[in-house]
Chain A
Amino acid sequence: MKINDIITALNLTLISGKGGISNEITGGYVSDLLSDVIGSASEGNAWITIQTHNNIIAVASLKEISAIIIAKGLQPAEETIRKSESENIPLLSTSESAFTISGRLFELLKKE
Chain B
Amino acid sequence: MRDFRADLHIHTLLSPCGDLGMSPVNIVSEAAEKGIDIIGITDHNSTRHTALIKRLAARKGIFTMLGAEVTTMEEVHCLTFFENTDTLEKFQEFLDSRLLEIMNDPLFFGDQVVIDEEENIVFNEPRLLTNAIDCSIDDLEKFVHSLGGLFIPAHIDRMKNSIYSQLGFLPEGLKPDAIEISKRSTPSKELVQHPELKNFTLITNSDSHFPGHIGSAMTIFRLENATFSEISLALKGEKGRKVVRQ
Contacts and interface: CB of A to CB of B under 8 A. Distances in A.
Interface in B152-208: 159, 164-169, 171-172
Interface string A32-55: 011101100000000000011111
A33 B166 contact: yes
B138 interface: yes
Chain A interface secondary structure, helix, strand, loop or mixed? helix
Contacts of A77: 136, 138
Contacts, number: 34
B125 interface: no
B171 A54 contact: yes
B137 A35 contact: no
A21 interface: no
Given A51-B74, A53-B136, A77-B136, A37 B171 contact: no
Contact of A37 (B137, B168, B172): B168
A35 B171 contact: no
A35 B165 contact: yes
Interface residues of A, number: 14
Interface residues of B, number: 13
Nearest to A50: B73
B229 to A, nearest CB: 32
Contacts of A38: 168
A61 to B, nearest CB: 12
Contact of A53 (B159, B164, B165, B167): B167
A14 to B, nearest CB: 23
Given A53-B171, A54-B171, A35 B159 contact: yes
A54 B173 CA distance: 11
Interface of A: 33-35, 37-38, 51-55, 58-59, 77, 79
Q: Which 8 A-B pairs have the closest CB atoms?
A: A34-B168, A55-B167, A35-B165, A34-B167, A38-B168, A53-B74, A35-B168, A59-B168
Given A34-B166, A35-B166, A55-B171, 10 more contacts: A34-B167, A35-B164, A35-B168, A37-B168, A51-B166, A53-B136, A53-B167, A55-B167, A58-B168, A59-B168
